[in-house]
Chains A and B, each alone.
Chain A
Amino acid sequence: MAEPVLEVEGLVKHYPLTRGVLFRKQIGSVKAVDGVDFTLGRGETLGIVGESGCGKSTVAKLLCHLERPTAGAIRYRGEDITKLSGKALKAVRRNIQMVFQDPYTSLNPRMTVGDIVGEPYEIHPEAAPKGDRRRRVRELLDVVGLDPEYVNRYPHQFSGGQRQRIGIARGLALRPEIIVADEPVSALDVSVQAQVINLMDRLQAEFELSYVFIAHDLSIVRHISDRVAVMYLGRIVETGTDTEIYDHPTHPYTQALLSAVPVPDPDARERRERIILSGDVPSPADIPSGCRFRTRCFKARERCALEVPALAVPAEFRYATGPAVHDSACLFAEELRVVPAEEHGNGPG
């Protein structure tokens, strides 16, 4: 793997649940993120997938220092950024930028596009000399495929896809090394999603960016990611390269998730075996003992309630080789192919 730019270790975020008006008493906590470890290599894309409430958006906020973690470390180039504040934090922020999900609320409706994209330079005056800022803003708009003449327009004059481009231009302004993208295309139309994904692909090569790409859409994550981490109830349950996760999943949750994704191929519907999970995701305030997936797992046995499976290569695969050997937090991990094998190359036409 490439040289790591970001190392996350034991990241925990608990939100206290309190009761009482005057004298607040803590009665529990919502364990949004409950021990997450991963490494992001230079120029690499790490995809984080999971259903709503699994804590993937909280991870994004923690990485961008929008929330302070309850415990754990986020090391950027070896330095733990969770303890930073003031000037040192501001300096680190230049290097980790975020692209938001909703292009309709992530741009201030009362600022012009030029002001929005140029704001990073006002906050970090050292990044660009004052006289050069307007030129840079126009250059950024050009880079993300917007006409630089748009600087004086307001966000509402743009479509969703164009707004997301503006958000990306703002994220690029300070030439960050890492971009954390939280569901960047899920609010866009299908035909526009492809434009934005291609743009992000192109920018990654052009600016040597590392992406943390958070999404619930497994197809998009596969398309853009080098490595994938599957989250469930605040923890990563399986992680590996895209082939390892998609073609050789060993965790039952990943298998169920993959089997549930509708594939745009009507012939596949007879061939596919669906794993339909029963029930709903438990509340993150009341996490099941042992393996947190056991309440919905089709393989759960008694041992699962007692033992917490670690995220490591499962014992079954200790002496094996091949793509099935990767980290999977399951006591009874076994490979199960759920995505139908492709029969004919149906590439871009």
Chain B
Amino acid sequence: MPEQPPHDSEGAVAGTGMGGAMDLAASEATTLERAPGGPEGPGGPEGPGGREDAEGAGPAAGRPRSLWSDAWRDLRRNPVFLVSALVILFLVVIAAWPSLIASGNPLTCDLARAQDGPAPGHPFGFDGQGCDVYTRTVYGARASVTVGVCATLGVALLGSVLGGLAGFFGGTWDGFLSRITDIFFAIPVVLGGLVLLSVVTSNTVWPVVGFIVLLGWPQISRIARGSVITAKQHDYVQAARALGASNSRILLRHIAPNAVAPVIVVATIALGTYIALEATLSYLGVGLKPPSVSWGIDISAASPYIRNAPHALLWPAGALAITVLAFIMLGDAVRDALDPKLR
């Protein structure tokens, strides 16, 4: 077999610069050392075509494993996953029951204390309206996390289903879908929000979520389409087809696990921008309206006073940053766990 030029090797293989075979051989040798019966191994005398490759009998195989069970085992031991999962769990809990850690009312404000710094009982200080920043930050989690998570889930589901199917089946539908995504890409987000959301009177987060999903899915759909097309060209898809596998089996068993990584990465990064987009829309008066509380509303409200009262901006912005970081880290950990090569 020709040696691969080192520049071609990707990912895990790149380390040696020697091409894949060497790295594969590396893992082989690990097992070779563990083999009972010394380095000669049991396969020696059986001759050609025998079990000469099978020298490295690994530890006894227990239950059959699958990608998902292995991924879960891997995640449980990954500190990045544990930290980000704990942060997200905490966010979910305070989004559901903010009163657990904040006793005040986010809407009780005292203009006399506007822009004041931290005081006893008010560790984060006060914002421009004299409201307690700590309480508002805690209560703001609900709207922001709901918008971020729901919009991301909606975008990821809609985008990857439509993009994945288009990439898999190709043809007329693919062409049609591609033109539709082009049209959606051409809609300016803020202007679209002003027009579409101004006709909505509901004061919940759902119109905002719906609007983000509507404008966000083409991005994921493009990525999903591309990675499905890449995965589709691999021989293992042909192999499954030759076995008589149905389209749904090929899509779910073979293509989806191999195409999902870029979707996860882009979706988790997009989550942050969706929370920020909610803030922008709220600032323009078409997103959430007071008395709703959200980080976006607070950040935009505090931004004019950044010189006098930076704390009013920094706390909600910090909360937003931690949330986004936690989701990105979670996405990274999940993506790595789904790649057996990185274990």
Contact = CB atoms under 8 A, between A and B. Distances in A.
Interface of A: 61, 64-66, 89-90, 93-94, 97-98, 100-102, 104-112, 114-115, 119-120, 123-124, 134, 142, 145-154, 156-162, 165, 167, 170, 174, 187-190, 192, 194-195, 198-199, 201-202
Given A149-B58, A194-B48, A106 B53 contact: no
A64 B235 CA distance: 13
Given A110-B338, A189-B1, A89 B244 contact: yes
B28 A159 contact: yes
Contact of A195 (B53, B59, B234): B53
Nearest to A185: B1
Contact of B242 (A65, A148, A156, A194): A65
B7 interface: no
Interface of B: 1, 12, 20-21, 24-25, 27-28, 48-54, 56-62, 64-67, 70, 234-236, 238-246, 249, 253-254, 257-258, 338-341, 343
Given A90-B244, A108-B258, A100 B48 contact: no
B64 A114 contact: yes
A172 to B, nearest CB: 12
A215 to B, nearest CB: 14
B330 to A, nearest CB: 19
Contacts of B244: 89-90, 93-94, 123-124
Nearest to A64: B242
B28 A152 contact: no
B57 A159 contact: no
A152 B65 contact: yes
A110 B49 contact: no
B66 A115 contact: yes
B238 A66 contact: yes
B239 A106 contact: yes
A149 B61 contact: yes
Contacts of A64: 242
Given A93-B242, A98-B242, A115-B66, A104 B60 contact: no
A199 B52 CA distance: 12
Contacts, number: 152
B24 A119 contact: no
B210 to A, nearest CB: 32
Given A108-B254, A149-B58, A161-B53, A119 B235 contact: no
A187 B1 contact: yes
Nearest to A193: B1
Contacts of A148: 61
A186 to B, nearest CB: 8
Given A152-B65, A170-B239, A110 B21 contact: no
Contact of B49 (A146, A151, A170, A199): A199
Given A102-B235, A105-B235, A134-B64, A145 B50 contact: yes
Contacts of B61: 148-152
A106 B56 contact: no
Given A106-B235, A124-B244, A145-B52, 20 more contacts: A66-B241, A97-B242, A100-B235, A102-B235, A105-B236, A108-B234, A108-B254, A114-B64, A115-B64, A146-B51, A147-B57, A149-B57, A149-B60, A150-B58, A152-B62, A156-B27, A159-B28, A160-B24, A174-B243, A189-B1
Contact of A159 (B25, B240, B245, B257): B25
B21 A147 contact: no
Contacts of B253: 108, 111, 119
A159 B20 CA distance: 9
A101 B238 CA distance: 12
Contacts of A115: 64, 66
- Considering residues B67, B243, B254, which has the most beta carbons from chain A within 10 angstroms of its beta carbon? B243
A309 B63 CA distance: 61
